[in-house]
Structure 1
Amino acid sequence: MQREYPSAPLLGVSALIWRPQTAQVLLIQRAREPNKGLWALPGGLVEVGETLAAAVVREVFEETGLSVQVGPFVASFEPILTDEQGRVRYHFVVLDYLAYYQGGEPVAADDAAAIGWFSLDEMAGLPMLADTRQVIAQHSALTAI
């Protein structure tokens, strides 16, 4: 799968992982482009033959070392980034799911440069995409489930 200058949009998933004991969301700091250095929900591309739920579980484990139970679909977003000539450099369709923390200790792996549990207040000062911030804010009520 060619991520840069793709011939078609790439399908991805991400997980809004909530830890109710501490009222925190798990975020990773992106180690690679696009959006290198920004904080984001863990996730990645869906592999051929893989269900969306299986992709969420796999991607979360690969990036964080955590096991999760996949909950309901919460949002979608479509980041499209162009280069200086206006050509589409990246185009993803990302489906966000609520995920319930099941166990493990967070470790930044795969394409995560850093990892951490953050309260909504702590997230306010982190650099992240507006779409990510909006998904977390809009669906923080679901995290009480």
Structure 2
Amino acid sequence: MNEVSKDRYVAHGLVRRGERFLLLRRRDGRYLGGQWDVPGGTVEPGETPAEAAVRECWEEAGLRTTVGPEVTRFENADTNGRDLTFHTITYRLQLLDPGAEVHLCAEEHDDFRWLTRTEALGLPLVWHVALTLGEGSRV
């Protein structure tokens, strides 16, 4: 008998240019639509969370990166009431080309901004981004 895992892993990348971080606005009509997030998504089978963070940054923002240290890790119950635990891991990502332009995945996001931590905290942020950038953070 195969048991279905009750753990789901989601990896994100915090991309920084100088004192500014890349924030992506989640398209209205999608999960957490209208809120600002950092590139990220589900860790695929056979992939590490670090690999997923790099892949998601490429898919969502068109930016090639390398992975740096883990910044935050959170666990939470499924917001839809399923018997699942989500593990949300955020890494620092370094741009391979610091001058590269952002090319959004229009299906998922409708805007992006490079913002300081203070500017970002003034936006409606996805919960884990607010905690990652919030007071006492290590970013």
Superposition TM-score, scaled by structure 2 size:
0.80
Asked if the contact 2:25–2:35 (Cα under 8 Å) also holds between the matched residues in 1, the reply is yes
Bigger Cα displacement from structure 2, 62-71 vs 101-110? 101-110
Aligned CA distance change for structure 1 residues 135 and 48 (closer, same or farther; 3 Å)? same
Report which of the two has the higher share of helix. Answer: 1
Superposition TM-score, scaled by structure 1 size:
0.77
**Partner SS state of residue 104, structure 2:** coil
Residue 101 of structure 2 is aligned to residue 105 of structure 1: yes
Residue 38 of structure 2 is aligned to residue 41 of structure 1: yes
Aligned CA distance change for structure 1 residues 80 and 28 (closer, same or farther; 3 Å)? farther
Q: Which residue of 2 aligns with 1:123?
A: 120
Q: Indicate the RMSD between aligned Cα atoms, in angstroms.
A: 2.2
Give, in angstroms, the shift of residue 90 of structure 1: 7.5
Q: Which residue of 2 aligns with 1:139?
A: 138
The alignment of Structure 1 onto Structure 2 pairs a total of residues equal to 129
Residue 17 of structure 2 is aligned to residue 19 of structure 1: yes
Hey, what's the Cα distance between the residues in 2 that align with 1:89 and 1:27?
Answer: 30
Q: Which runs of 5+ in 2 are unaligned?
A: none
Asked if the contact 2:9–2:87 (Cα under 8 Å) also holds between the matched residues in 1, the reply is yes
**Partner SS state of residue 16, structure 2:** strand
Hey, what's the Cα distance between the residues in 1 that align with 2:24 and 2:96?
Answer: 18
Q: 2:8 aligns with which of 10, 29, 36?
A: 10
Q: Which residue of 1 aligns with 2:86?
A: 92
Q: Which runs of 5+ in 1 are unaligned?
A: 1-5, 141-145
Give, in angstroms, the shift of residue 100 of structure 1: 1.1
Deviating beyond 4 angstroms after TM superposition, the runs of 4 or more aligned structure 1 residues are none
Q: Which residue of 2 aligns with 1:30?
A: 26
